[in-house]
Structure 1
Amino acid sequence: MRVDDVKGDTVQFDNILNRFVTGSAEWNQYVIVLDFPSQSESIHFGILLSGKGTVWTDGIRFEEMNIKKPTTNRVED
């Protein structure tokens, strides 16, 4: 998931590279936690599959967090 500003610059990003899934797996919940700075303009998300196989998704949702959680942001400040 990526958050861009009005100029199209990425302000928040997480591609779960440091916790990616390989091989066959049972259904699991994967969570991305990003802040949305005031200059945020757009949200982009999707799934990448490298090689052969099938990817299934269900129950994708966006939620505002009522408590402060550590973000999974990978953009250097």
Structure 2
Amino acid sequence: MKAREFERAFEAGDRLDDALDLEAARRPNLEMRRVNVDFPSWVVEGLDREAKKLGVTRQSLIKVWIAQKLEAEGPSRL
């Protein structure tokens, strides 16, 4: 199905389940890549305190903070 046909069917409220292969669907730029970063112990302790206050893991906190910073820099920086 071409994009225009898909859009027309969507706008008409047609069911599109058969037109989509959800098992093969991927979101671009969301592949995970592992990176290792060394922090001084005082930074790790601060991250742990902040993560505990928010009820999230240290890794989640770091991911969110970095993503927020990159988004604030604007799409031209990504």
Q: TM-score range by the shorter chain?
A: under 0.3
Which structure's residues are more often strand, by fraction?
A: 1
TM-score (norm 2): 0.22
Which structure's residues are more often helix, by fraction?
A: 2
Between 1 and 2, higher relative CO (CA 8 Å, sep ≥ 6) is seen in 1
